[in-house]
Amino acid sequence: MALNKRPLRDVTQQDIDDYARDGAVCLRSVLDRDWIDLLEPIAREVIIDKKDVGLLPTIPGRYMARCIEEYRRFVFESPIAEVAGKVMQSKEIRFFFDEFFAKPPQSDAKTLWHCDRMGWPVKGNMVPSIWIPLTPIVKANCLEVLAGTQHDDVPYWLFSPNARKMIKPDDRVPHPEIESKRGDPNLRFLSWDMDPGDLLIVHPWVLHYSAGNPTDDWRVAISERVFGDDIRWAPRPDCVNLAGVSFDEMLEGEKPEGSHFPLLWSEDGRADSDAHFPQGFATRWPKQEMAGVNEYKAFKELKVKEDAGELSRKDKAPAN
């Protein structure tokens, strides 16, 4: 199989400029088709057939590289870290975690407008999502970006599992209502038709969204989260958890390093192997039915509560 380790096309200055201006860039034909042929059947087994491959039953959409050899190989051997580093102008790229995103055919499930910033236990800008479609993408089911919003320094309240157990702090603001602004000539909404082998690099502060899936096949994508040069630990109670790494180990101001955050690429050619990368999880659990990969319904319900002011009420907020 022609599993390319270097990008099939190099990052250009235009790519770098587009990312800096818009908060997202679409890179065409980065991956060989053989990578897609390796990963897509496994994704369909896990997402559609709910095959038990050892993923966490409560969050089966994450940590594929921990349990699936082909996805671990993709993290360590594909060119995704190199293109992310070059687009962001980072000298090094380390791994954070990976995640499935999927929508069934003829689905009206929407991903709410949001940014990822306050979900991550870090400070800095270089923690993008590398969004990689495993099936053909049309603009109607593509991830969509409101260009330039990564320049807004706003601590939006994100509905992470930890945040759902908390009263919303006063300094966290709701994500803005965007849909009614589509006709505004001063705003630029970006979406793409994409082929497998293309990918998006999405800034953690940029507002993004996804509508339903009007096609007759599943829309399947994976997101690889990585760390660049400016990232330092800054854990908060509302951040997402990371399996196997407690907040105790995320020392404020320190650079993420260690077995869970291997060096995937560097300008000077250094990279870690997967020899010390964790396989599986630190706990065991009785066999149980897997939850859904994505939580569209839960996020929609939480947005209704947020709009009603209930997430700031002591008598209601922790009940999610």
C-beta of residue 132 within 8 angstroms of C-beta of residue 222: yes
C-beta of residue 40 within 8 angstroms of C-beta of residue 135: yes
Q: Which residue has the higher pLDDT, 307 or 130?
A: 130
Q: Which of 43-47, 106-110, 143-147, 314-318 has the lowest mean pLDDT?
A: 314-318
pLDDT digits (tens, 9 = 90+) for 100-153: 999 999 999 998 999 999 999 999 999 999 999 999 999 999 999 999 999 999
pLDDT score of 287: 83
Query: From residue 131, how far is each of 246, 250, 305 by CA, in Å?
Result: 26, 26, 29
> Is 320 a residue whose pLDDT tops 60?
no
Backbone angles phi, psi at 135, to 5 degrees: -130, 160
- pLDDT more than 90, % of the chain: 82
The whole-number average pLDDT for the span 305-311 is 86
> Is 51 a residue whose pLDDT tops 80?
yes
pLDDT score of 291: 87
| Mean of pLDDT over the chain | 94
Q: Give the integer Cα–Cα distance in Å for 53 and 33.
A: 24
Is the CA virtual torsion 57, 294, 47, 276 positive or negative?
A: negative
> Is 308 a residue whose pLDDT tops 60?
yes
The whole-number average pLDDT for the span 184-197 is 98
pLDDT digits (tens, 9 = 90+) for 237-287: 999 999 999 999 999 999 999 999 999 999 999 999 999 999 999 999 988
The whole-number average pLDDT for the span 191-204 is 98
pLDDT score of 301: 87
Query: From residue 244, how far is each of 184, 261, 306 by CA, in Å?
Result: 45, 11, 31
> Is 186 a residue whose pLDDT tops 60?
yes
pLDDT score of 317: 60
Backbone angles phi, psi at 212, to 5 degrees: -75, -160
Which helix or strand (DSSP H or E) is residue 100 part of?
strand 92-103
Q: Which residue has the higher pLDDT, 287 or 63?
A: 63
Assign 318 a pLDDT band (cuts: 50, 70, 90).
Answer: low
Per DSSP, the residues of 249-308 read: GS-TTPPP-STTS-EEEETTS----STTS--S-S------PPPPS--HHHHHHHHHHHHT
> Is 319 a residue whose pLDDT tops 70?
no
pTM above the 0.75 mark? yes
The whole-number average pLDDT for the span 283-299 is 85
pLDDT score of 125: 98
